[in-house]
Structure 1
Amino acid sequence: MLKCIAFDMDDTLLSINLSAFIAVFAKDEATLLADVGRKNPLATFASLTGVMLDLNNNSRSDDDTRTNRAFFDAEIERRCGVALADPVVADAFTYYEREVLPGRNDAIIAARPRPGALEAVDRALDRGYTVALLTNPSFSEACIRTRMGWGSLTDIPFKLVTYMENTTRVKPSPTYYLACAETLGFAPEEILMVGNDPKRDFPTPDCGIQTAYVGHGRRPVRATWAGSMEEFARSFDEVEERFAAYAERRLLDIVQDTSVGH
C-alpha cells in the first residue's frame, strides 16, 4: 500500500541548469578554500572536484559508516590540508552557502519551480501521503536549502530532507534509500520515488522502492509510471493504480520463486 511519496529536487521539483550551478558552486568553494588555506586556486579546484566525484560515485568501502559530510571533510583535509570542520573555516563556508549562494541564481542557472511541481506535492498532501525530499545528498544542508528556496519548497512539510550531514551514501545506493525508508518509518514497498534521473532515482540494485519517472528521455524499464511532472500532478489515480498493480506482480513473483525453491 502506498503511504509515502518521495521527490527528487533538481529537474524534478526544481527546474535548473544543474551543470551551470555545479560549475559556479565548485569555482566559488574552491576559491574560498584556496583563500582560507593559502593554496593555489587551480590545485584546490582540482582537489575539490575530485572529492565531489568520489562522493557521487560512492567510492568507499562498504563498512565505512561516516556521513557524507565527514567523508567529504576528511578527503578535503587529506588532499588540501584544510580542516573544514574547524569552526572558523566552517563558518566561512556556511556564510557563503547561506548568504552569498542564494544570489548566484542567474539567467544561466535559471532555477525556478518546475511546472506542475508544487501542484504535485499539494496533491500528495491532500491525499494524505507523507512527503519527503530525497535529493541527492552530495551537498550540505545549507546548499540544499538554498535551492529549495529557489523552487519555493521551503514551507512544504517534508518529513525528511536528505543532505550531506544526515546520510552515509548517495544515490543510487540502496544503502541510502533503505536508510531513508527507515528514518521515514515505512517499508520500501510503501514508498514511491519521483525523479527525473534514469540512473540515480532508481535504487541499484533494486531494494523494493518503486519509481515514477518524470524525465525527458526514454522511459526506463523499471519505471512504475512515466510522464511529465505536470502529468504526474494530474494523474494520481493512474499512479496509484500502477503502484498497486506493480506491487501485486512483485508479490506474485516472490511467491512463485518461493514455490519453485521448495
Structure 2
Amino acid sequence: MINTILFDLDGTLLPYKWEDFEKEYFKKVVYKLKDILKPEETIKYLWESTMEMIINTDCQKTNKEVFMDKFTKLSQKDKDNLQNIFDDFYENEYKTLSAIFTPSEYVTDSIKILKEKGYTLVVATNPVFPESALLQRVNWAGLDDKDFILITSFERMHFCKPNIKYYEEILKIIDKNPHECMMIGNDVEEDIVAGKLGIKTFLVTDYMINKNNIKTDADYIGDYKDLNSFIRNLPIINNDNAAAK
C-alpha cells in the first residue's frame, strides 16, 4: 500500500517555467561574482559544474563536493572564498527571486489533504541546489518545509535525476520500499524514471517537460486539478506515517 508521496519541486510543487527563473537567477549570480569572474565565465562554470553533478557516479562524493571541486578547478579561485560567496548569495540576493512565483491553491490543498490522511511526504527535487535555496522555494510554494521528512539537497545526495540511483538513495534514506511510494512530477524523463524501481508515478502536465519527446509510461497523467482530485480519493492511512512530526 502506498504511504509515501515523493514530489518534484520546480514545475510541480512550485508552478513555473524554468526559463522564467533561469534568467533572473543567472543575472543575480553573475552580479554576485562580478569582482572575481567575468559574466560569461560565471555562466559557463555554473553550467559545467552542474553537469558534472548530473553525470557523476561516484557514491563517495556528495553533489556539493562534485560541484565545488569542478567550479574551483574551472575558476582557479580559492574554494573557501567561493563557498562564502555562494552562501551569502543564497542568504541574501536569492531571496529576492520570490517575487516571480505564485503558489497553486491546488498544490497547497493537496499537501494539506495528504498530511491529514497520514502520508509521508518527500521533496524529491533534482539535488543541484543547496538546502537553503530549496527551503526557500518550498516556502515560496506556500508550503511548510517541516511537512516533509526529506528535501533532497546537494549537500546530502550523491546522484541526480535521471540516474535511477537517485531514487534508490531516497528509498534508503527514508527506509521505504518502492511499492510504498509514488513519485509526482512534471518531467517525463527525470521524474517518471522512478517507475523503473516499481514506484508508482503521476505526470503533472501544467508545466510538463519532455526534452527528448519520449513516450511516457506514467501510471497517472493529469493537470493540477486532476492531481488534487486523485489525492482527495486516496485512502486514509495510519497517522503514525504522517510527515509532520
**Aligned counterpart, 1:2:** 2
* RMSD across aligned positions (CA): 2.3
Query: After superposition, what is the alpha-carbon deviation per residue over 1:34-65, rounded to whole angstroms, capped at 9, x for unaligned?
Result: 42xx333322322222222333xx223x3453
- Write the distance in 2 (CA, Å) between the matches of 1:237 and 1:45: 43
More moved, 44-53 vs 223-232: 44-53
**Which secondary structure does the structure 1 equivalent of 2:49 belong to?**
helix
Distance 1:91 1:63, change over 3 A: closer
**Aligned counterpart, 1:14:** 14
Q: Are 1:112 and 2:105 matched, yes or no?
A: no
Shift of 1:155: 4.5
- Write the distance in 1 (CA, Å) between the matches of 2:111 and 2:84: 33
Shift of 1:185: 1.1
**Aligned counterpart, 1:182:** 172
Distance 1:236 1:32, change over 3 A: closer
Distance 1:63 1:235, change over 3 A: closer
**Highest Rg: 1 or 2?**
1
**Aligned counterpart, 1:29:** 29
Q: Are 1:121 and 2:121 matched, yes or no?
A: no
**Aligned counterpart, 2:231:** 236
CA contact (8 A) 1:52 1:72 kept: yes
Number of matched pairs: 230
Q: What letter is aligned with 2:132?
A: A
Gaps of 5+ in 2: 236-245
Shift of 1:82: 2.2
Q: Are 1:96 and 2:89 matched, yes or no?
A: yes
Q: What letter is aligned with 1:134?
A: A
**Aligned counterpart, 1:214:** 204
Q: Are 1:191 and 2:181 matched, yes or no?
A: yes
CA contact (8 A) 2:161 2:190 kept: yes
**Which secondary structure does the structure 1 equivalent of 2:201 belong to?**
strand
Identical amino acids, percent of aligned pairs: 24
Normalised by the size of structure 2, how large is the TM-score?
0.84
**Which secondary structure does the structure 1 equivalent of 2:147 belong to?**
coil
**Aligned counterpart, 1:54:** 52
Runs of 4+ residues deviating >4 angstroms: 217-220, 237-240
Q: What letter is aligned with 1:46?
A: K
Q: Are 1:167 and 2:157 matched, yes or no?
A: yes
Distance 1:135 1:42, change over 3 A: same
Shift of 1:237: 6.4
